[in-house]
């Protein structure tokens, strides 16, 4: 079975045990894929950073970072994992299997990162770089840097809906400055996740976006 | 002059203009080092991730991530930049120069990351990997994973003191749950930076640590 996966990523493992570990969820057995996921996440960030650097020679650092965050976040990885039909190759514990773990976005995204980590160990950075470049090429070609990505509030809302969590609450906590140069301070609270961030801006909207962006950062890191 | 730097990092640039760009702060001229810093940050994360992965084959992913965050954060980079006497090679605008930019931790840390980015472009990932491994080897050898790192509140306090900013304020915002299983909700507020994070824990101390950890994450990302 995993040979099919090796064909679709165009990498043949020298050490098949690395592939097996990458596909093993912690609910199944040890060694499982969490350490490889940590490694693969780092490789992915570096490779995508460089792909964007080369594709957009004029773009400043901040834009490159935002584009990258967009490409490496869970739902992008999840879609790529689905393309590779990664779910059918996973080794999951019985409980996870029954509760639909093989289609859970976080499990699929993590396994794909673990696969990247395994390739790095198996055949070096250039090898994992080539695999990631092939997978990401259509996504990177499709980027129009002039067109803004979905704004932070929308992305936060979609992320929470995907997790079946209630929407965040935004609350004005202060206004500052003189009337002609007022600044708004807005809190974004996601109670279920114990997240409380703050944004400051020249408009309520701008302050909300900043607060949402910070909440997204916390969610993506955890 | 920069030949001295090339000797101390043991990398001779094929393309000297990359080295020059890495050493050019945006206050001096364009092209400056911000795009290279973005690239070098990604390389650094990946290389340190792998060095730790190999050095600590038994450590779970979460511990590896924490160790890495510790090694790649600004003050570690700043210390390495000082070892390399990077300040004397920087090209700064007049204003920055006069106000002591050449010794500012953020400028030095960013320039070191830019240098890593430049080496990656100049000679490939294995080359930058070797340079980073040499610089970080003593730090990684010195890690005792059994010994906890400084706690988050201490690190946050030190980081703010380094920036001459007032200390964060911690405030109990709620207690939850029955008396025998009470949870504390603590906010950590850094007014000057518009940061407001929250932690939840079985003790005030635990909740404060969580809130401080999140504030550190925001500061390290910004």
Q: What is the pLDDT of residue A147?
A: 63
Inter-chain touch B217–A217, beta carbons under 8 Å: yes
Last residue of a domain, one of A92, A110, A141: A141
Residues 56-85 of A with CB under 8 A from B: 59-61, 64-65
Indicate if B41 and B76 belong to the same structural domain: yes
Q: Partners of A186 in the beta sheet?
A: A172, A199
CB A25 within 8 A of CB A111: yes
- Decide if A39 touches B, using CB distance below 8 A: yes
What is the C-alpha to C-alpha distance for residues A122 and A133, in angstroms, rounded to an integer? Answer: 17
What is the C-alpha to C-alpha distance for residues A11 and A6, in angstroms, rounded to an integer? Answer: 5
Average pLDDT, chain A: 91
C-alpha distance from residue A214 to each of A149, A217, B185 (Å)? 16, 5, 19
Q: Which of B62, B69, B67, B46 is nearest to A26 (CA)?
A: B62
CB A114 within 8 A of CB A40: yes
Task: Give the domain range for residue B161.
Answer: 152-221
Confidence of residue A175 (pLDDT cuts 50, 70, 90): confident
CATH for B216: 3.30.160.20
CATH for B89: 1.10.1520.10
Q: Is B41 a catalytic residue?
A: yes
For residue A104, tell me if it sits in a domain. yes
Indicate if A111 and A24 belong to the same structural domain: yes
Q: What is the pLDDT of residue A112?
A: 98
pLDDT tops 70 at residue B147: no
Residue B112 main-chain phi, psi, to 5 deg: -65, -40
For residue A70, tell me if it sits in a domain. yes
Residue A35 main-chain phi, psi, to 5 deg: -70, -35
Q: What is the pLDDT of residue B64?
A: 93
Indicate if A163 and A82 belong to the same structural domain: no
For residue B147, tell me if it sits in a domain. no
What is the C-alpha to C-alpha distance for residues A104 and A163, in angstroms, rounded to an integer? Answer: 10
- Decide if A18 touches B, using CB distance below 8 A: no
Last residue of a domain, one of A141, A167, A193: A141
Answer left, alpha or beta for residue A153, where phi above 0 means left and psi between -120 and 50 means alpha.
Answer: alpha
Q: What is the pLDDT of residue A192?
A: 87
Q: What is the pLDDT of residue B123?
A: 98
Q: Nearest residue on chain B to A58, judged by CA atoms?
A: B35
Indicate if B127 and B156 belong to the same structural domain: no
Confidence of residue A148 (pLDDT cuts 50, 70, 90): low
Contacts of B79 (CB under 8 A, 6+ apart): none
Q: What is the pLDDT of residue B128?
A: 98
């Amino acid at each position: 079975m995993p040979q099919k996966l090796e064909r679709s990523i165009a990498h043949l493992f020298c050490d098949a045990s690395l592939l097996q570990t990458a596909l093993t969820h912690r609910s199944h057995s040890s060694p499982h894929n969490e350490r490889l996921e940590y490694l693969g996440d780092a490789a992915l960030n570096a490779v995508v950073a460089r792909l964007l650097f080369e594709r957009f020679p004029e773009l400043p650092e901040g834009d490159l970072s935002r584009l990258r965050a967009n490409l490496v976040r869970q739902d992008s990885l999840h879609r790529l994992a689905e393309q590779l039909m990664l779910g059918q190759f996973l080794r999951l514990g019985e409980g996870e299997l029954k509760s639909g773990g093989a289609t859970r976005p976080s499990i699929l995204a993590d396994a794909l990162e673990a696969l990247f980590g395994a390739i790095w160990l198996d055949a070096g950075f250039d090898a994992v770089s080539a695999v990631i470049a092939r997978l990401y090429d259509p996504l990177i070609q499709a980027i129009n840097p002039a067109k803004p990505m979905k704004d932070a509030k929308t992305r936060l809302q979609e992320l929470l809906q995907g997790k079946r969590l209630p929407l965040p609450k935004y609350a004005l906590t202060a206004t500052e400055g003189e009337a002609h140069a007022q600044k708004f301070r807005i809190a974004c609270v996601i109670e279920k996740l114990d997240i409380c961030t703050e944004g400051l801006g020249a408009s309520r909207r701008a302050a909300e976006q900043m607060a949402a962006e910070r909440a997204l950062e916390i969610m993506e890191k955890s």
